Structure 1
């Protein structure tokens, strides 16, 4: 599909710098029109973070996507996003699919899936590209033309990495034995400038969904973490409750044996709207951005009726503790706090608490010393609508309930959360995007709400017995700034 670059850039800049609809998020990255897809790369290059995600600027449908780039130095000030990769020619004629970005030979490069169909079947190709001086990705060559024998055409999302001076790629795939299809990851090794199939990566998971997507590999000290997004898992009481999941296993990768020795599969997020995350590493920090969406659930996202779909999570910093990843908001985001708005909750012993929040965005940092309390209820009330977060100390569970909302996705999510004497939460409330970090990032829940009434939310806390102590702070939050990646001396306000 051809497009007028100047016209698209002009429209993008114009709409991005205006407030727009009341459902527009202010401190979550999102594009002002079209379909925003999942994150496909985060690298630090020439003094800036480069963040790539999929985008269809001409429709809110999940089709014919290119890649758009955001740049920043501090995750608060961002350059205007720019369309840098677009399906042209035969190799990616049906869209630029999943992939990864990396630095190689002093250049910023990408490896992505060129989506194609032939005779009604997928015929995807894995393509190498290089960022040019004019900020557009040049398509260099097809590195992998087709999937190996024994695997279906669900073959995509290459992740590039280097071990012991050798280059490798992981691809999400689907094996198709005689009885049923199963998800898996394929390993490729670079030889003389081409990637050759080295075999399927063995795990201890057996059948674990029908297809695996968006694989990536990181190292935390001596431990390897393998990320992927399986489709087709059957939900359980406290796990795998979304249509599709995203998570990881930790252990050790043996490239010679093509095997990942690992522990249990952990979900990265317990909310309704989280899929296909991407993790970049810079100066020892593992930084995650997720896609606040659930594929195939378009009815859950009523912004589509207003010309845009989906948003990204805030950046999260990951750390590994005893085989489990903890996630915290990037500390740079503290600069969004409007100091004059701070309301302290320190030292208050209360059976209930009620406070109105800013209509344009808030952060709530809470430490609740439980005392004899066994059950907590937190509500975000939007007029006659509400979202509930319920904590059951006896069952060690958190329940997130959106049944009180009228528009968009609803439902209930329940997961285990073990506490001792206190419960900590860091809650970020944007106009539609909500992210909650429990117990210093041991669990995270991301989800979207679409209030019917244009009213500021009210935060309400109630317990079944007097709470021993509530400590914390509430801040109004400023918004992300576009048009520049370097913070200026001036201070912005609403």
Structure 2
């Protein structure tokens, strides 16, 4: 009888026989699935001298399917090892997928928490009935091999007013206790975060529910908690938020609340702030580096959207965004590619992009800095169809056919001083005012960068080299 999920050997065979290498849109300096589907980053942590980047992985189908945990490791965010698949949906309580979660290092062990997805066969809506979202646990002594899998919480352990949508555990230690955050959807279709407390990582007691003063969407996915400059930041991805002209324009959003007070006792949440204004940014998670920087990584994609990436034809889909250091400045979260990204630079060119004069760049895989933009309106063409316009404090971006149904986006920026662009074969990440605003998207064009502007702009350009990724040999 065939196993309920693939073995590592079967996944290795899928990866080794994949045709993904033939795809011109494979990214050069972003992490992707070897084959199949990738979504949320999971279990980000620094353990035994290296960073561990897990991710939702469906190797059997580039449009999704049964989820495993894929795994990359790195010491410098330039050289990576593609490790063996880490977690499998091979348990009674995770049979339909090892869904998203987090890791924490305690007593020289990596402790992993994730959602075990189970869907029952029958006439169910899979919101109020027919689904189990179980909080699962496993641990590792080396960061690669996992054991001790067990179920910690099931539907009966969540508050009765919750639907069956309770998932994406994130664990922190604060003072003498561990706290587990779970994204949830109430029976009144209100997004919330459930908080549990433990002294030993195994026995969890419900503590409270974190919610906004007014309902904000019907589900808060992928919670993450970080403290920046003594500010408590609750990151999550709300679903069901009504779009506005310049805000909340994606199907689902990703951003943060500021917690005023102690989330364990009396607190208030600020309004919600978006983290990225592009089409492809979701489920961000934060890891603390070995030198205490806070590094954010997100899925460069979006669930449940109508558009499909043309890479599906080659057997793969999606990627992770550039790792970004986040900081607290000017009363908001800034994010900017981590310093290690500079190691990718190869050739530097400094020039002036003259008004209405088209320039063909050396390579479409680049880092580019546009300076001295203060108090100016301008129009910039960056790739075949990608245009950025700035007038009357409105950033207007178009991608036309290269966006594959990602077409037009607008958001407000009071003033632009500078812009940094990271362009890869099929992605663009834009950082305005050194990370005050960001914009992330996939794009599919002719892979030739011709740039043009309506004003003179000083430019610093770097051609970037590829990530170096090796397969695990153990």
Cα distance, 1:326 vs. partner?
0.4
1 CA distance for matches of 2:169 and 2:439?
27
1:126 to 2:135 alignment: yes
Of 292, 296, 314, the residue aligned with 1:284 is 292
Q: Which residue pairs with 1:33 in the alignment?
A: 35
1 CA distance for matches of 2:373 and 2:317?
39
- Regions of 4+ moved over 4 Å: 13-16
1:99-178 matched pairs, under 5 angstroms: 99-118=101-120, 119=122, 120=124, 121-133=130-142, 135-146=144-155, 147-177=158-188
Of 397, 416, 420, the residue aligned with 2:394 is 397
- SS of 2:307's equivalent? helix
Cα distance, 1:159 vs. partner?
0.8
State TM-score, norm by structure 1. 0.88
1:305 to 2:313 alignment: yes
Q: Is the 8 A contact 2:355 2:452 kept in 1?
A: no
2 CA distance for matches of 1:152 and 1:478?
47
Q: Is the 8 A contact 1:364 1:427 kept in 2?
A: yes
2 CA distance for matches of 1:349 and 1:358?
14
- SS of 1:194's equivalent? coil
The one-character-per-residue Cα deviations of 1:220-262 (angstroms, maximum 9, x if unpaired) are 23210000100001111110000000000123352442x4423
The one-character-per-residue Cα deviations of 1:291-339 (angstroms, maximum 9, x if unpaired) are 111111253312112210101101000001243100111111111111x
- SS of 1:288's equivalent? strand
1 CA distance for matches of 2:258 and 2:210?
14
Q: Which residue pairs with 1:2 in the alignment?
A: 5
State TM-score, norm by structure 2. 0.91
1 CA distance for matches of 2:299 and 2:458?
31
Q: Is the 8 A contact 1:250 1:323 kept in 2?
A: no
Q: Which residue pairs with 1:361 in the alignment?
A: 365
The one-character-per-residue Cα deviations of 1:358-384 (angstroms, maximum 9, x if unpaired) are 44511111103457x4x31111333xx
Cα distance, 1:6 vs. partner?
3.1
- SS of 1:89's equivalent? coil
How many residue pairs get aligned? The number is 458
Flag the 1:391–1:73 CA change in 2: closer, same or farther, 3 A.
Answer: same
Q: Is the 8 A contact 1:99 1:159 kept in 2?
A: yes
Q: Is the 8 A contact 2:38 2:318 kept in 1?
A: yes
Unaligned runs of 5+ in 2: 125-129
Q: Is the 8 A contact 1:93 1:116 kept in 2?
A: yes
Unaligned runs of 5+ in 1: 486-494
Q: Which residue pairs with 2:429 in the alignment?
A: 435
Q: Which residue pairs with 1:489 in the alignment?
A: none
Q: Which residue pairs with 1:477 in the alignment?
A: 464
Flag the 1:4–1:128 CA change in 2: closer, same or farther, 3 A.
Answer: closer
Cα distance, 1:145 vs. partner?
1.6
Which of 96-105 and 188-197 deviates more? 188-197
